[in-house]
A and B are shown apart, each in its own frame.
Chain A
């Protein structure tokens, strides 16, 4: 099954990013294709490489980067939401991309499921 994920909340403030990540991992482990994680609202701040949490904490941006590299999951930040929040190509993690809401529409159309996480 092909699955798209919509993540509408930033990292750390809320558990949404963690649940989305755990869900993506489990879906891949069950043999599904996680097509893309689309970031909207404050969710776009999931992919800044300026993120630098304490050593003993998870690095949420790094985790998305790894998921993209290992499993070909597209990690996409909405351009309009990114501009508002100071997310640009210059601060983007490896594997991250900035794109438009049209891409989310394509994701909603081409996947069997769209699963939303957020606050």
Chain B
């Protein structure tokens, strides 16, 4: 590791849960927003039920829980631009890229796995 790169950590957040049945995605997003201020090399991967967090048309009014789907398109403003979605997770749920509310890179599990293995820190939510 070079002197220069040693200060920048590659940190990947892995969203694994559906958004409203548990708090993991919401609190995960809070963590990402804070970490974004530290100028590290951040990325977010959506795997398994985590892809549901990006589904268009979420309306949480009826369940009495604050919605946060709008935060994902806002991540760009925090310089969190690396959003990876697992292609197989989308496909097995009958979802397509057009069903998602933000621009993402849809990638194979193998490709995301390769990126994962390059990280210094991986945090699952």
Minimum CB–CB distance for A91 against chain B, Å? 20
Asked, given contacts A41-B23, A41-B24, A41-B27, whether A102 binds B123 with beta carbons under 8 Å apart, the answer is no
Residues of B within 8 A of A102 (CB): 34, 37-38
Contacts of A105 in B (CB 8 A): 34-35, 38, 40
A101 touches B123 (CB 8 A): no
CB neighbours (8 Å) of A114 from chain B are 121, 123
Instruction: Say whether B47 faces chain A, with CB atoms less than 8 Å apart.
Output: no
Instruction: Say whether A20 faces chain B, with CB atoms less than 8 Å apart.
Output: no
Number of contacting residues on A, CB 8 A?
Answer: 15
Distance in angstroms between the alpha carbons of A104 and B32 in the assembled complex: 11
Cα distance, A55 to B7, chains bound together (Å): 47
CA distance A100 to B37 in the complex (A): 13
Q: Which residues of A contact B27 (CB under 8 A)?
A: 40-41, 80-81
Which of A6, A100, A108 gathers the greatest number of chain B CB atoms within 10 Å? Answer: A108
Q: Flag whether B56 is at the interface (Cβ < 8 A).
A: no
Chain B residues with Cβ below 8 Å from A100 are 34
User: A69 at interface (Cβ–Cβ under 8 A)?
Assistant: no
- Say if the beta carbon of A116 comes within 8 Å of chain B: yes
| A contact residues around B11 at 8 Å (CB) | 108
Are A108 and B24 in contact (CB-based, < 8 A)?
A: no
B66 to chain A, nearest CB (A): 12
Complex Cα distance A118/B35, Å?
20
Contact call B34/A109, Cβ cutoff below 8 A: no
Contact of B30 with A116 in the complex, beta carbons under 8 Å: no
B37 surroundings in chain A (CB, below 8 A):
102
Task: Tell me the nearest residue of chain A to B6, going by C-beta.
Answer: A109
A-B contact list, 16 entries, CB within 8 Å: A40-B27, A40-B31, A41-B23, A41-B27, A80-B27, A80-B30, A101-B31, A104-B34, A104-B35, A105-B38, A108-B11, A108-B40, A108-B120, A109-B38, A114-B121, A114-B123
B interface with A by C-beta (< 8 Å): 7, 9, 11, 23-24, 27, 30-31, 34-35, 37-38, 40, 120-121, 123-124
Given contacts A116-B124, A118-B124, 6 further A-B contacts (CB under 8 A): A40-B27, A40-B31, A80-B27, A104-B34, A108-B40, A109-B40
